[in-house]
Amino acid sequence: MSVPEREFRMDDSNQPELTLDGSVGGGQYFRSALSFSVLTGRDVEIRDVRGARENPGLKPQHVAAAEALSSIANAETDGVERGSRTVSFHPSEVQPGRYAVDIETAGSVPLVVDAVLPLSLVTPGPVRLQVTGGTDVKWSPPLSYLRRVKLPLLREAGVLASVDVGRRGFYPVGGGEVTLLIGPSKLTPLSLDESGERRGLRALSTASEDLTEADVAERLADTAIERIGDDWTVLERTVTYVDSDSTGAVVVLVTEHAPETGESSGTGESSGTGESSAEIEAGFEPTCRFGASALGEPGVPAERVAGDAVDALREPIDAGATVDVHLADQLLPFLAVAGGRFRAPRLSEHLETHLKLLEQFGAAVEWTERDDGTVDVSATGNSPDRW
């Protein structure tokens, strides 16, 4: 089953402007509201942006995401500037082409990419976006999580997207360069009912070149592999040192689980869906993946950082979930369009606010919190112009 093809112009929407309370969430709420505005063609006004945060209003990474979306969707905007607490956004059609945005700080590049990625559901042609900023920073899944957990799963479901890395950027300078390429995508339902049998573990460790002599990247990867235990077959151990304007290190752990039926197509970082059109039409089930990460910090031993990543990885697996806490909210727009279901390890703030935001846009996504704290999320799937 796949989402029906349709002719859809985003400026065809006759719905009234949607007024949203930005104080109920943070930057993720703001970015998603603009993404959904582009998907549905519905004008939005977001008031009191990040109003409940210690430093309310737009930060550089939020401005960058809004600028990227407004450029690609040829939107009229008001209030897209640092510190602004009210933003109006009036999208038109997505325009294929080349775009670039500079966060100008170490603000999160992956979160800007996440805001633009759903446009693959409505773009009529290729969109190429270069983003400059922080690739591996706090309060955001790092770049390797995006490339090795989220994107492979979405590509198996039919999303045409790739992310190329020009340079890594750590806090506080940033300076990382990443290019996102998306194309018109036809999705199959995200049917993540069971995690399936354990296939193996991938440990991906990256550090700035000035940490080479201290073997930081090796220690991160090796400690994580040691602490995860003998239950996992190590499929990959990748240790990389990179040129970066700031000292930094990150470890990303990925577990893969065999689908209940069929075999996975692979797990690399290549472009394209990774599946043939025939497999997509047949309803190919994505390989269940869990990801977790931890960032190095001055004065904190690499072994402790790796241990934190292992603890985070165990949470969704031990809970019997089928996605980790980050995928749970990041998959929602694709679930709303394609349909399907998954089980989240818990009702995080991001998941709850994202679900309620989709509801305000009219997307039919249902969720139930179970007695054990896990959350079942499902959708029948519908084109964004019919939300």
**Residue among 156, 198, 163, 197 at smallest CA distance from 179:** 163
CATH number, domain with residue 188: 3.65.10.20
| Residue 329 labeled ligand binder | yes
Instruction: Quote the number of domains for the chain.
Output: 1
Instruction: Give the alpha-carbon dihedral of 309, 326, 328, 156, to 10 degrees.
Output: -90
Q: What per-residue confidence (pLDDT) applies to 14?
A: 61
pLDDT at 221 over 50: yes
Q: What per-residue confidence (pLDDT) applies to 276?
A: 35
Average pLDDT rounded to a whole number, residues 65-79: 98
Measured CA distances, 19 to 13, 42, 53, 197, 275 (Å): 16, 11, 20, 45, 40
- Other C-beta atoms lying within 10 Å of the C-beta of residue 145: 25
Dist CA 70 CA 89 (whole Å): 8
Q: What per-residue confidence (pLDDT) applies to 285?
A: 58
The angle subtended at Cα 165 by Cα 163 and Cα 171, nearest 5°, is 115
Is this model's pTM higher than 0.85 or not? yes
The angle subtended at Cα 352 by Cα 141 and Cα 320, nearest 5°, is 70
**Residue among 280, 232, 279 at smallest CA distance from 257:** 232
**Residue among 107, 106, 49, 41 at smallest CA distance from 69:** 41
CA 156 distance to own-chain centroid: 15
Q: What per-residue confidence (pLDDT) applies to 11?
A: 45
| Residue 360 labeled ligand binder | no
Judge whether 48 and 79 are in contact, CB under 8 Å: no
Dist CA 85 CA 58 (whole Å): 7
Domain membership of residue 5 (yes or no) is no
| Residue 330 labeled ligand binder | yes
Which amino acid is residue 28, in one-letter code?
A: Q
Average pLDDT rounded to a whole number, residues 245-269: 73
pLDDT at 2 over 70: no
Name the burial class of residue 285, with classes exposed (0-12), middle (13-18) and buried (19+) by CB atoms within 10 angstroms of its CB: buried
| Residue 78 labeled ligand binder | no
Q: What per-residue confidence (pLDDT) applies to 16?
A: 78
Dist CA 130 CA 106 (whole Å): 15
Dist CA 279 CA 281 (whole Å): 5
Q: What per-residue confidence (pLDDT) applies to 311?
A: 97
Q: What per-residue confidence (pLDDT) applies to 230?
A: 82
pLDDT at 264 over 50: no
**Residue among 357, 302, 354 at smallest CA distance from 326:** 354
pLDDT at 3 over 90: no
| Catalytic residue list | 350
Q: Domain containing 38: what range?
A: 10-386
pLDDT at 263 over 90: no
Judge whether 88 and 77 are in contact, CB under 8 Å: yes
Tokens representing 341 are 């279901």
Could you tell me the pLDDT band of residue 231, with boundaries at 50, 70 and 90?
Answer: confident
Tell me the pLDDT tens digit for each residue of 328-356: 999 999 999 999 999 999 999 999 999 99
Could you tell me the pLDDT band of residue 78, with boundaries at 50, 70 and 90?
Answer: very high
Question: Among positive and negative, which fits the CA dihedral 242, 244, 249, 252?
Answer: negative
Domain membership of residue 351 (yes or no) is yes
What percent of the residues of the chain are helix, what percent strand, and what percent coil, each to the nearest 5? 35, 25, 40
Tell me the pLDDT tens digit for each residue of 158-207: 999 999 999 999 999 999 999 999 999 999 999 998 988 889 999 999 99
Domain membership of residue 253 (yes or no) is yes
- Pairing mode, if any, of strands 234-242 and 97-102? unpaired
Tokens representing 176 are 């990382």
Domain membership of residue 121 (yes or no) is yes
Domain membership of residue 4 (yes or no) is no
Could you tell me the pLDDT band of residue 286, with boundaries at 50, 70 and 90?
Answer: low
Average pLDDT rounded to a whole number, residues 275-286: 42
Judge whether 137 and 131 are in contact, CB under 8 Å: no
Average pLDDT rounded to a whole number, residues 275-279: 35
Domain membership of residue 140 (yes or no) is yes
